[in-house]
Structure 1
């Protein structure tokens, strides 16, 4: 029996990644929109929000 274990312990929103990299947030959103789940881009949902895109460390490196 194989059990999947999630090894992601945190994600960073695209807004924060753009700030950290000194890049334009709209440009980064365009790049992220072309990324696949395998590239470690995900959506994070919270109460009362539509959700925001976020990246794992691997996604930021990608």
Structure 2
């Protein structure tokens, strides 16, 4: 039996605040991440949804941030 070892996730707003990054820019950067990278979508009532990250996802996101800051043109492609 598979046991999920994720005990908490952090919303993109929380991660943006903690990392001192703009939330909209961070959403663009994280848009290329997959569930295997530690990103999940949390769905509420109706169309309400928010991107969230596991601890592993935050680590991966920090690497994505570094890559995008080194080459800002990546988001324009």
More helix by share: 2
Q: TM over 0.5, yes or no? A: yes
Q: Which residue of 1 aligns with 2:51?
A: 53
Cα distance between partner residues in 1 of 2:13 and 2:27: 9
Aligned to 1:15: 13
Number of residues paired by the alignment? 60
Task: Show the counterpart of 1:36.
Answer: 34
Is the deviation greater in 3-12 or in 47-56? 47-56
CA root-mean-square deviation: 1.1
What is the TM-score of this pair, normalised by structure 1?
Answer: 0.88
Provide the C-alpha distance between the structure 1 equivalents of 2:29 and 2:2, rounded to a whole number of angstroms.
28
How far is 1:45 from its partner?
1.5
Gap regions ≥5 residues in structure 1: none
Q: Secondary structure at the match of 2:41?
A: strand
Q: Which has the higher contact order (CA 8 A, sep 6+)?
A: 1
